[in-house]
Chain A
Amino acid sequence: MGVHVQTTINGDAVEFACGVDESLLDVLRNRVGLTGAKEGCGTGDCGACSVILDGRLVCSCLVLGAEMNGKSVETIEGMADGNVLHPLQQHFIDGAALQCGVCTPGFLMAAQALLRKNPDPTEEEIRFGLAGNLCRCTGYDKIVRAVQAAAKEMRG
């Protein structure tokens, strides 16, 4: 009944077996042990489960684990370089861009995907780039500012 899957997660070769109806989110959280991606809705509305799949930002609750054969998945757990935080991570802390922090992994993945495509986004482009992620604590103000600051630093 289970499907055997060979995939790459944060650069590591990973093998797992999962049911045909299991989401990538459930596989990451319950089978691979990566709980950084969160389930806020399970219907693709909140973005808390955002991961980057073959370079594309997706809601991992809307993707099946069984489809991951040969794919490459990036999650929040792979964002820092060892003990050196990614500029986005550092600016989220320094700029108080998180309060409860449950949406933070999703926002960081979405911001990462945005800045790879567009290293110098306008405020409006940031706001639309992050519009698939819900945050209920911050009113988004400090999130947008943190992404602006990180983008500036990353451009050098």
Chain B
Amino acid sequence: MSLDSHSSDPMNPGLVERKFKVIGSRVARPDGVDKVTGRARFGADASAPGQLVGLVLRSPHAHAQIVKIDTKAAEKLPGVKAVITSVDLPDYTNGDRSMLDILENCMARKKALYDGHAVAAVAAIDAATARKALALINVTYKILPHVTDVDEALKHTAPIIHDHIFTEGTPQKSEMPSNQNKHASYGHGDVEQGLKEADVVISRSFKTEQTHQGYIEPHSCLASVSPDGAAEMWVCTQGHFVYRNQCAILLGLDANKLRVTSSEIGGGFGGKTHIWAEPLALALSRKANRPVKLTMSREEVFRCTGPTSSTSIDVKLGVKKDGTITAAFAELRYHGGAFPSTWAELGAQTAFACYDLKNVQTISKDVVVNRPKTAAYRAPSAPMAAFAVENAMDEAAKAIGMDPLDFRIKNAAKEGTKSSYGPVYGPIGIGPTLMAAKNHPHMKAPLGKNQGRGVACGFWFNFGGQTCVDVNITPDGNVTIAQGTIDVGGSRASIAMAVAEELGVTYDHVRSTIADTSSLGHNDMTDGSRGTFSTSMAAIFATRNAITVLRNRAAKTWEINVDDVEWKDGSAHPIGKGHGNLAPLSLKDLAAGAGNTGGPIAGHAEITADNAGVSFGTHIADVETDPETGRSLIKRYTVIQDAGKAMHPSYVEGQYQGGAVQGIGWALNEEYVYGKDGRLQNAAFLDYRIPVCSDLPFIDTQILEIPNPNHPYGVRGVGETSIVPPLAAVSIAVTNSTGVRQTHIPMSPPRVLKSIQDAKAK
């Protein structure tokens, strides 16, 4: 259908039931050929003339005062061009504590706060020289007592990591420094009263271990600061504008003097939303007056970037025999690594978001420990909360003799429900995904010996944020798009599809690229499942603005009023009486004549994309557990999720499958192992084992489409929700395969075996 430009605001979602020509097809992505031929350039694939190799020296201690750093011998080594410590990164943060935390995480200042914390860095003519230089740096540490466990850190006997942290959010202002940086509470109704009304009360405690996003591409950047202070950086990131802004602040640069170009990104999942070594590369380059390439090793990636929180969660559910939930309560303790965070708060907000509850309360405690600064990991904090809550839901259903899926359907949130974290829901997909699960053939398939099935659901907010897009018509009548959100899984294709749909041309006429930070306004990063949602919205609005220009150009060409020009199927058409002899003007015609009608033809849109549309999913997992070894294997897995509108169904399926498998790895195997000395013991893919191809079956998917009224095509974010249910679904399946409630993630073979033996001993 055509856009009726006469009546609608081009910057208004104006969601209508429509038949799409391009949206919903499975086109080839513009970066596909480059990625299958080795042409695509990732973070470590760029080089600059005269570049140096940057390397970072990291603390071997979990918690230590830095007494002295002697860099003289390293500086004297031939081939070494710069050595930096925190002295070379003065505090330009102007009282902004959160920025100072970022700076301190990039380079330790007075104390090393975790094993792997950067304390110095070098730039040298080659890697061998740089390695020698690192060995020549002499750091004198005074080792301090450390704490790496979230519950231990809250005890009064725990070493206090930061003197400046006092618990925020408690009713009474705390007098003493604490390892708990924040306290928060969410919910409504009266939980105590609800528990009194219950026939059955379920009370359980759960733990989850720390995991890493596990992207295959290590962090890498190429920084070049010229003597006049202008700088360029090539970097793998989920948000080059955010990297630009933060690095400019930390280096004391004006943002317009730092041009950041994003490389292709080899996975991020939240781990590339934070700056890590980029300010160090810039500082090294500034000191050496040469470009510096700084690429992390896999060991560094594990020791100092990424990981998610480890958690400790208590849940209490009050239930009536008819399946009514009278009370729901959870206390969630998450750590943010060595720096203050709000991860527990996110867990508290998401914990009961799937359900319609009269009395609900969640309490969050955010904690600091001597571990690397925690980063977002795909729907950050929600999987652990869902693990705890969904297990309690499963246990409650069994306690009252109700099918767990029917119990969830009875209590599912719906349009108009006041969510447990505050807002009232619009049209949502939790009920439909649960019903789809109930009706799925997977639920009727027989189970074999030692096999169990688990069902669980999950929620994620989704995010919109600041976005801008340029749509430019080339002189030959084709279309280029400059987008500023990083493409992590095919969004360039989806954005081009939206523009083609809007303009009424075919996909092969439209191509989208990621603009650098000097070529487009600020864009938030690709996080919160916002990439395709927000960028397609901005691209649609930009195209509508371009169509307005096109109609004006046609009006000028025909010498008629612009109100008498309609845009339809890729051409301008005259409407109204008296224009019958005017032939339509195609995009190609108008582009060719642009020089005589007012110059280049373009459309722009700058938006804050609000109301991303919350997302729900339900997963079904079948596992087989070997009672001799405790090892569990996934036998069958189904993901059902609401996409709002699937712009490119293959890429939506890919998000469902990828998130599910990350969750499966987390559920069954992945964990950070810390020794008593506070050092990470498994900083390698051999010992931190992510799922491989032979661990898995095909992952079935079912896409539901409950349109988001706040997007022109009904799109919701789809990237993150798929990691929320797996910890819960797989643990419930293992509970059913072993007959023992699983309360500690990951369910590695020794842990499951011990749970079986402990149950037998009772």
Contact = CB atoms under 8 A, between A and B. Distances in A.
Closest 4 CB pairs of A and B: A36-B38, A102-B266, A139-B661, A101-B35
Contacts of A38: 42, 44, 216-217, 266
Interface string B1-45: 000000000000000000000000010110111011111111011
Contacts of B215: 100, 102, 136
B36 A104 contact: yes
Contacts of B28: 93-94
Given A46-B685, A94-B28, A102-B267, A137 B654 contact: yes
Most buried by B among A34, A39, A104, A137: A137
A138 B216 CA distance: 12
B693 A45 contact: no
Contacts of A102: 42, 215-217, 264, 266-267
Contact of B488 (A100, A126, A142, A143): A100
Nearest to B217: A102
Contacts, number: 182
A135 B696 CA distance: 12
Nearest to A36: B38
B692 A131 contact: yes
Contacts of A105: 36, 38
Contacts of B42: 38, 102
Given A41-B684, A46-B685, A139-B662, 20 more contacts: A35-B41, A36-B38, A37-B38, A40-B218, A42-B297, A79-B36, A85-B37, A89-B33, A89-B36, A94-B28, A96-B653, A99-B654, A100-B267, A102-B215, A102-B216, A127-B696, A133-B693, A137-B489, A139-B696, A139-B699
B38 A100 contact: no
B684 A43 contact: yes
B683 to A, nearest CB: 11
A24 interface: no
A93 B29 contact: yes
A2 interface: no
B298 A40 contact: yes
Nearest to B663: A139
B654 A138 contact: yes
A76 interface: yes
Interface string B192-203: 000000000000
A98 B662 CA distance: 16
Contacts of A133: 692-693
B466 to A, nearest CB: 24
B32 A93 contact: yes
A76 B693 contact: no
Contacts of A128: 693-694
A101 B31 contact: yes
Interface in B674-717: 684-686, 690-694, 696, 698-699
B658 A134 contact: no
B276 interface: no
B114 interface: no
Contacts of B295: 39
Contact of A85 (B26, B36, B488, B693): B36
B298 A41 contact: yes
A105 B33 CA distance: 11
Contact of A127 (B38, B128, B653, B693): B693
Contacts of A124: 694
B269 interface: yes
Interface residues of A, number: 58
Contact of B40 (A41, A43, A101, A143): A101
B29 A142 contact: no
Contacts of A143: 693
A66 interface: no
Contacts of A139: 654, 657-658, 660-662, 691, 696, 699
B475 to A, nearest CB: 26
A35 B264 CA distance: 13
Interface string A38-60: 11111101101000000000000
A38 B265 CA distance: 12
A99 B693 contact: no
B490 interface: yes
A38 B38 CA distance: 9
Given A40-B298, A131-B693, A108 B36 contact: yes
A143 to B, nearest CB: 7
B226 interface: no
A115 to B, nearest CB: 15
22 contacts: A35-B41, A39-B295, A40-B216, A75-B38, A85-B36, A89-B33, A90-B36, A99-B267, A99-B490, A100-B217, A100-B488, A100-B489, A132-B692, A134-B214, A135-B693, A137-B267, A138-B657, A139-B657, A139-B699, A140-B692, A142-B654, A142-B657
B650 interface: yes
Interface centre among B265, B690, B692 (most CB of A within 10 A): B692
B657 A93 contact: no
A154 to B, nearest CB: 16
B45 A35 contact: yes
Nearest to A83: B33
Nearest to B489: A99
Given A35-B41, A137-B489, A137-B654, A48 B216 contact: yes
Given A34-B38, A94-B28, A137-B267, A19 B658 contact: no
Interface in B644-660: 650-651, 653-654, 657-658, 660
A141 B698 contact: yes
Interface in A102-156: 102-105, 108, 124, 126-128, 130-145
B26 A104 contact: no
Contacts of A132: 692
A30 B654 CA distance: 33
A80 interface: yes
A15 interface: no
Interface in A21-38: 21, 29, 34-38
A144 B695 CA distance: 13
Contacts of B33: 85, 89, 93
B315 to A, nearest CB: 29
B602 to A, nearest CB: 30
Interface centre among A35, A96, A144 (most CB of B within 10 A): A96
A41 B357 CA distance: 47
A49 B35 CA distance: 14
A135 B695 CA distance: 12
Nearest to A123: B698
Contact of B264 (A92, A100, A134): A100
Contacts of A141: 653, 657, 696, 698-699
Contacts of B128: 19, 21
Contacts of A46: 216, 298, 685
A150 B497 CA distance: 27
Nearest to A96: B650
A131 B689 CA distance: 12
A143 B41 CA distance: 21
Contact of B696 (A96, A137, A140, A142): A140
A2 to B, nearest CB: 12
